[in-house]
Amino acid sequence: LGEPDEKGRPRPVKVEGASFEIECDTVLVAIGNGSNPLISNTTPELSVDKKGHILLEDAAANKTFMEKVYAGGDIVLGAATVILAMGEGRRAAAGINEFLKK
């Protein structure tokens, strides 16, 4: 990182000669934000939309249509943010707590 700018934020600075090439046969791109179809494919009781996002029966408690299963974060919202995923986790935890109290 370079020196902080007028707002105090340091910016990345290109280091000449620091990049290099690697010879390879296959490259797997291991980033992305599509939902993993494994769970929805193997668990038909979970309702999902066309993009594989899990649908909620009770959004206030992040409860899915499957009994005793709660979900939140990107698998419900699609590509979102860490803050939103944390909020969903918190809501699901509260929903699970309410269920257990009964």
* Residue 37 to residue 9: CA distance in whole angstroms: 39
With CB under 6 A as the contact rule, the residue among 18, 27, 30, 82 that binds ligand FAD is 82
In the numeric block, the tokens 């999902």 are attached to 48
Q: Which residue has the tokens 């935890």?
A: 93
**Structural contact between residues 66 and 48, judged by C-beta atoms closer than 8 angstroms:** no
Q: By Cβ distance, which residue is nearest to ligand FAD?
A: 73
Residue number with CB closer to ligand FAD (36 or 97): 36
Distance, CA of 78 to CA of 21 (rounded, Å) = 34
The site for ligand FAD, by CB under 6 A, has a size of 13
Q: Residue from 46, 66, 69, 85 that binds ligand FAD (CB under 6 A)?
A: 85
Q: Which stretch binds ligand FAD (CB under 6 A): 16-24, 34-42, 50-58, 91-99?
A: 34-42
Tokens 């257990």 label which residue? 100
Residues that bind ligand FAD (CB under 6 A): 31, 33, 36, 38-39, 73-75, 80-83, 85
